[in-house]
Copies of this chain bind each other. A is one copy, B any other.
Amino acid sequence: MPRRTEILRLPMAAPDDVSALAAALEAGRLAPEAVVAVFAKTEGNGCVNDFTRPFAVHALRALFAPHLSEAALARIALVMSGGTEGGLSPHWLVVSVAEAAGPGPALAVGQARTPVLAAEDLGRRAQVRMVAAGVRAAMTEAGLAPDEVHYVQVKCPLLTSERIGAALARGAVPATRDTLKSMGLSRGASALGAALALGEVGEEAIPDAVAEAPSGLFARRCGASAGVELLDHEIVVMGMSPDWTGPLVIDHAVMADAIDVPPVAACLARLGLAGPGGFVDEAGRARLAAVLAKAEASSDGLIRGRRHTMLTDSDISSTRHARGFVAGALAGLTGMTDLFVSGGAEHQGPDGGGPVAVIARREG
């Protein structure tokens, strides 16, 4: 029997505000046992000490606990991404899968978790391989071939002072002692893991130390997000499958730099969402289910030859700058602000650019 995906995009008044999900449960619009993943943009700084992510996880667990067994609850991928800079709006994306009769193709979703990552493996080839195995498991679960995949979302761990200290105490050497930097290494290794599983890069091209991987080595269909609330990886794979049914479709684009909006406009047009002047209008927005994108500051300090200051601003993390800025570019195009724009696009798209996935409902 074919499977069918449903996505609810719901507002969040605070990191622990699950009232919109509770209302959907109450109204029967959401079946707890069908939920496979919950994404959220929470309003912390998206960096090391962003506790809005685990706070949201606590609230979600408390919401679902009365409905699901411990094991069933643990199977839901909880992908919290901190940082709603600029006009970004904190929101939930609740992804459900159920069996349903009907024609394909349609959005297919698979997911997987990896084992716990040792602190000293973070940012090294061991992490790349662990994530690649996880992405393959998720593709298998969804019945997706590599070229049918449009987006892989990986939630990956980071290093805290405590985790670094514990590793050192047992004689292990982490790839970095800088907690903020560990986030970037973890995201980069995760992206290379996805690229490996998708056949976008070969394993021989990936050095043991991800910090030494050239920026030209990247995944075109992966967003990775690091958080203090997990020690393993949560992986969600999304693609178009003839064996799935339902109203949702997915497509993707790659931005070459932080202001490279035309490929996203073309993607929206392919999905029939382009209104007058190319902008998404009311009717289009009603059909837009989700936009997922990655943002980062280009490492050479330039955008199209003009200097940016994201990397030299010691008051605001470059990830916060990049998120708000790219969010502006995408919000201007789509006319909506509840976009899942996540910061830190190391090896996710070209240096300074990043991948964008768009999920929409079919017309009519």
Interface residues of A (CB under 8 A from B): 11-16, 43-45, 47-52, 54-55, 58-59, 84-91, 160-162, 165, 177-181, 228, 258-259, 261-262, 265-266, 276-279, 297, 299-301, 303-304, 306-317, 320-322, 324-333, 335-338
Contacts and interface: CB of A to CB of B under 8 A. Distances in A.
A46 B282 CA distance: 35
How many copies of this chain does one complex carry?
4
B306 A15 contact: no
Contacts of A179: 311-312
B165 A54 contact: no
Given A51-B55, A325-B324, A87 B330 contact: no
A49 B309 contact: yes
B265 A277 contact: yes
A48 B312 contact: yes
Given A13-B162, A178-B181, A301-B162, A324 B328 contact: yes
B55 A54 contact: yes
A86 B321 contact: yes
User: Which secondary structure dominates chain A's binding surface?
Assistant: loop
14 contacts: A11-B306, A45-B315, A48-B314, A49-B314, A55-B55, A86-B86, A86-B321, A89-B306, A161-B301, A165-B301, A178-B178, A259-B331, A265-B279, A278-B278
A261 to B, nearest CB: 4
B308 A279 contact: no
Contacts of A310: 86-87
B262 A277 contact: yes
Given A85-B325, A329-B331, 8 more contacts: A51-B51, A86-B325, A259-B335, A259-B336, A304-B336, A314-B317, A328-B332, A329-B332
A313 B49 contact: yes
Given A58-B16, A303-B337, A328 B86 contact: yes
Nearest to A179: B312
Contact of A332 (B49, B178, B306, B333): B333
Nearest to A164: B301
